[in-house]
Amino acid sequence: MQKLDRLGWMAGISVYAYGMRIGIRTNCPAIAERLPEFLPPGWEPGLSPLVDHLYSLRVGGPGASQRSRIYHWLYGGPTRLARTRVIEDVLETLAGDLELYVAMHARNRLFIHAGVVGWRGRAIVLPGRTWSGKSTLVAALLRAGATYYSDDMAVLDGRGLVHAFARPLSLRDYDPQQRSVQVRRCGPEEFGSGVGHAPLPVGLIALTRHDPDGRWRPRILTPAKAVLELMEFVMSADGEPDMILNALQPMVQHARALKGIRGEANETAAALLAAIEEMAEATPVLAA
């Protein structure tokens, strides 16, 4: 870390997000101006020069004399996170690590690895691992008229309400010519939807993963089983069980939890909306 400190840093920002103070320093003032677009949703400028976590972004360049200087380097604390010639890759890594760091250390909020949309005053939460098809299902729900909250993180408060964590959706497209997967970022407006702002009570929890041959025939989970299933997707690093249960208990208490594999996203989205509508008729949502 001391070696990093000696490198000479010309610009930086200090931000405050979910109770964490985060610093990012760089040797390139032009890059510092771009940093805000890679910060977690809901960040605020930090007032203190002291931070809980520090990123160091060393920008290389074509005119560098030493071979190593043609690379861009990113460190999170003393840990090297990226070394690449493509600055966009470094910034994507920074955004991803920042999001993960905030999710794991947030104070007074519980982060769950899940997509979230809003539907008539209730949230549909879609917990799932990376590559399970969360973003695709979120996109299908947005096309069907739902409001966007998040495609990767459900942010819960102590009352079990879900808050927006609205970064652009990351949709993966397979390119058969290149034989590679391209990540495409797009806003909810591309699907004719907008971002929700009000925290919502959870109406439906759908634990699912995509299987091309699958069909959405879910089984209903009891509230306690839903809590156990959700624990698998809780991001908190400190693992305060009290805080986790405080958020999960009210979350599941008035929600229906379903589990199963799904096939086509649009078909599943329609089934999920039908399920939440049915539930809404049975138990009208209380004013928040």
Partner 1 sequence: MNRVPVTITIEPSPIEIFTMMLPKARTHDLNVRELVEETVIYDLERHKAHSLNAAAAFVWRRCDGQTSIAELARLLHAELKLPESEELVRLALDQLARRHLLEDATPTVLPAPALLSRRDALKKLAVAAIALPVIMTITRRKAWGATSVPPSQACPPNTTECIPQNESSRDTVFRLISAKVCCAANEFCSTGGTCVRRAASACLPTGNPCAAGGTPCCSGACPKGGTCA
**Structure token pair of residue 42:** 């809901």
DSSP state for residue 160 in the 8-state scheme: S
CA atoms of 101 and 256, how far apart (whole Å): 30
For residue 125, state whether it binds partner 1 (rule: CB under 8 A). Answer: no
For residue 249, state whether it binds partner 1 (rule: CB under 8 A). Answer: yes
Q: What residues numbered 3-22 form the site for partner 1, per CB under 8 A?
A: 5, 8-14, 21
CA atoms of 195 and 200, how far apart (whole Å): 13
Site mask for partner 1 (CB under 8 A), range 91-120, x = bound: -----xx--xx-xxx-------x-------
For the purposes of burial, counting CB atoms within 10 Å of the CB of 22, is it exposed (0-12), middle (13-18) or buried (19 or more)?
buried
Q: List alpha helices for 154-257, DSSP H.
A: 223-231, 241-253
Query: Using CA of residue 234, residue 238, residue 239, residue 240, what is the dihedral sign?
Result: negative
For residue 224, state whether it binds partner 1 (rule: CB under 8 A). Answer: yes
For residue 85, state whether it binds partner 1 (rule: CB under 8 A). Answer: no
> Judged by CB under 8 A, which of 117, 156, 206, 234 binds partner 1?
234
For residue 134, state whether it binds partner 1 (rule: CB under 8 A). Answer: no
For residue 41, state whether it binds partner 1 (rule: CB under 8 A). Answer: no
Q: What residues numbered 171-210 form the site for partner 1, per CB under 8 A?
A: none
CA Rg value for the chain: 21
Q: Which residues bind partner 1 (CB under 8 A)?
A: 1-2, 5, 8-14, 21, 23-25, 48-55, 75-79, 81, 96-97, 100-101, 103-105, 113, 129-130, 222-225, 227-228, 231-237, 239, 241-242, 245, 249, 252-253
